[in-house]
Structure 1
Amino acid sequence: MLKDKFPELKGLILDMDGVLWQDNKPIGDLPFIFKGISDLGLRVVFATNNATKSVQEYQQKLASFGVHVEQGQIITSAIAAAKYLQHHYPASSKIYVVGSASLKDIVGQHGFQVCDDAEMNSAQAVLVAMDTSLTYEKIRNASTQIRHGAAFIATNMDATYPTPQGLLPGAGACVAAIATAAEQQPLLIGKPQTPLYELAFQSLGFNPHEIMTIGDRLETDIAGAQKAGCLAGLVLSGVTDEVKAHSWQPQPDLVAKDLTELIYG
């Protein structure tokens, strides 16, 4: 079992895409996996770079697979980005959002005005995430706002995300298009940067060395865990294969085929 290898372990930060599921297909028997986590006495938070869904939507998705959690256990790059905006911009500031309806709702719920395409050059910041309906018009409008002085912020730079049909373009593809047009690079909020990890540490209430981050992506989950000072567990059920895993330096603390193997050994 996991705690036999890491007896100091008290909490887990779990990625979701590529760890718990691929799109709408669970990876393994999730209730069985979480029973094992509970039996080990480990606290869990979920931390994802995916900004396309609300906390409530993730809670419902977990419940549909038989895993029941509190909303406070779920942290997304959208939440981290909205909290960053709260700390750096006055209430009611105008934010131009390239992303899902859920992301726009989250920004609005944190006290900001979400600009529409007609309000050109009025935004204090441009927030970009994965947008499955990205158009030339959105790229033009976002890059124009940035060129006129709006801050450029990205929830994450994941190039792809895993599905049962294979890897599809992720937020990084959308961000790259706007960065190219604006000739600027964004401030990154999600993994591997620290804001999302800091929220997870606060939620768990443990020191970083007592926490393991478990993810499927080396350049975000593993790099972020190593940067934040917590243990790093890699699963090969998402975007990373064994060859890439062995070439990564420094090596993750643990590499497993999937979450079942990681928890149960």
Structure 2
Amino acid sequence: MIDLDGTVYRGSEKIPAARRFVERLQAAQLPFLFLTNNTTKTPAAVVQNLADNHQISVRPDQIYTPSLATVSYLKAKNHGDLHGKSVYVIGELGLVSALLDAGMVLNETDPDYVVVGLDYDVTYHKFEVATLAIRQGSTFIGTNADTNLPNEHGLVPGAGSVIAMVERATQQTATYIGKPEPIIVQAALSVLGREAAQVLLVGDNYETDIRAGINANVDQLLVYTGVSKPAVVATKAQQPTYQINSLDEWQL
């Protein structure tokens, strides 16, 4: 399971070792899944971005996002069927399309669920609608807790920063789906058809990627190309299973 932002790329900035790592996995015919916390794009759009901007060729079914994990989680809560269930969404196309494709309908008045993720065009009105719905009884779902997202500019606000504003306004804590929660890792294990002991989770962020592995009993490989820094990680009580500076260092 391989993280994207900060591990395979930094926004539009390439991480050349990541392409070589993926090519080595493909040559060895080792199954892998990109396990990202980014909900802004559909799997097809992620594949297109990887191909066009990073020369990495993969399939849409090799991309797993909190959008897909949210659908899986909500289906489990509704006997496997979300048709007719209503939702208000703060988020981009990747999140909205996953929920609508599962049969949910948009509702700004009294939705069954409010799902909040990263939204590049978030407005006060969206926060207002979400806040009122949650305070009136809608179930509050947060895609992931990342406070920051690494791109070519640096560490910019992530979904967790957006969700935090709704939490503050509602005085409620969201149910989180993405890393570091085990929910998304367990769902991804099902997609891969593997047990936790058979999988390695690769990422750049101790607080999301590495903690997700720890919480789901999956070995972790921390690569220092994104958010986390060695001096900070050294202070953590539980260390990653493995640590490297570049994916070129990892021997399959």
TM range (shorter): over 0.9
Q: Structure 2: which amino acid aligns with 1:74?
A: I
Seq. identity, %: 30
The structure 1 segments of at least 4 consecutive aligned residues displaced by more than 6 Å after TM superposition are none
Which residue pairs with 2:248 in the alignment? 260
- 1:255 is displaced (CA, Å) by 0.7
Whether the aligned pair in 2 keeps the contact of 1:19 and 1:258 (CA below 8 Å) is no
Counterpart of 1:149 in structure 2: which amino acid?
G
Q: Equivalent residue for 1:77?
A: 66
Structure 1 position 196 matched with structure 2 position 184: yes
Give the TM-score normalised by structure 2.
0.93
Range with bigger deviation, 65-74 or 208-217 = 65-74
Q: Deviations over 1:30-77 (max 9, x none)?
A: 442223223444221111111111011111112222222222111000
**Any idea what SS the aligned residue of 1:222 has?**
helix
Amino acid at match of 1:105: S
Structure 1 gaps of 5+ residues are 1-12
Corresponding residue for 1:234? 222
Q: In structure 2, how many angstroms separate the alpha carbons of the residues matched to 1:87 and 1:184?
A: 22
* Residues 155-180 of structure 1 deviation map (CA, whole Å, 9 limit, x = unaligned): 00100000121100000110000010
- Map 1:207-226 onto structure 2 (within 5 A): 207-226=195-214
User: Tell me, what secondary structure is at the counterpart of 1:44?
Assistant: coil
Kindly indicate whether residue 95 of structure 2 is the aligned counterpart of residue 86 of structure 1: no
Contact 2:8–2:19 at 8 Å: present in 1 too?
A: no
Alignment partner, residue 98 of structure 1: 90
> Which residue type is aligned with residue 88 of structure 2?
Y
Q: Which runs of 5+ in 2 are unaligned?
A: none
Aligned equivalents of 2:47 and 2:123: distance in 1?
Answer: 30
For 1:50, the equivalent position in structure 2 comes to: 38
Secondary structure of 1:56's match? Answer: helix
Q: Which residue of 1 aligns with 2:239?
A: 251
How many residues end up aligned between the 2 structures? Answer: 248
State the shift of 1:229 in Å.
1.2
Name the residue aligned to 2:99: 107
Q: In structure 2, which of residues 149, 168, 171 is the aligned counterpart of residue 183 of structure 1?
A: 171
SS across alignment from 2:180: coil
User: 1:225 and 1:30 mapped to 2: Cα distance?
Assistant: 20
- For residue 32 of structure 2, give the secondary structure of its aligned residue in structure 1: strand
CA root-mean-square deviation? 1.5
Q: Is the aligned partner of 1:140 residue 2:128?
A: yes
Could you tell me the TM-score, scaled by structure 1's length? Answer: 0.89
Q: Measured at CA, do residues 263 and 161 of structure 1 come closer, stay the same or move farther in structure 2, by a change above 3 Å? A: farther
Instruction: Tell me the distance in 1 between the aligned counterparts of 2:56 and 2:251.
Output: 16
Which moved further from structure 2: 204-213 or 52-61? 204-213
What are the Cα deviations for residues 222-253 of structure 1, in whole angstroms up to 9, with x where unaligned? 11101111111001111001111211221111
